[in-house]
Chain A
Amino acid sequence: DARVTQTPRHKVTEMGQEVTMRCQPILGHNTVFWYRQTMMQGLELLAYFRNRAPLDDSGMPKDRFSAEMPDATLATLKIQPSEPRDSAVYFCASGLVGLGLRNIQYFGAGTRLSVL
Chain B
Amino acid sequence: AQSVTQPDIHITVSEGASLELRCNYSYGATPYLFWYVQSPGQGLQLLLKYFSGDTLVQGIKGFEAEFKRSQSSFNLRKPSVHWSDAAEYFCAVGAESGGSNYKLTFGKGTLLTVNP
Contacts and interface: CB of A to CB of B under 8 A. Distances in A.
Interface stretch (B12-20, B62-70, B72-80, B95-103): B95-103
Contacts of B95: 103
A50 B102 contact: yes
Interface string A87-106: 00001010101111111111
A105 B51 CA distance: 14
B94 A103 contact: yes
Contacts of A56: 103
Query: Most A CB atoms within 10 A — which of B32, B43, B44, B90?
Result: B43
B102 A103 contact: yes
Contacts of B42: 109-110
Q: Which of A31, A95, A102, A103 has the most CB of B within 10 A?
A: A103
Contact of A98 (B41, B97, B103): B97
Contact of A99 (B98, B106, B108, B109): B98
Interface stretch (A12-20, A40-48, A65-73, A77-85): A40-48
Given A45-B104, A56-B103, 20 more contacts: A45-B103, A48-B102, A48-B103, A50-B102, A91-B44, A93-B44, A98-B97, A98-B98, A99-B98, A100-B97, A103-B32, A103-B95, A103-B96, A103-B97, A103-B102, A104-B46, A104-B49, A105-B46, A105-B104, A106-B46
Interface of B: 32, 34, 36, 41-46, 49, 51, 90, 94-98, 100, 102-104, 106-109
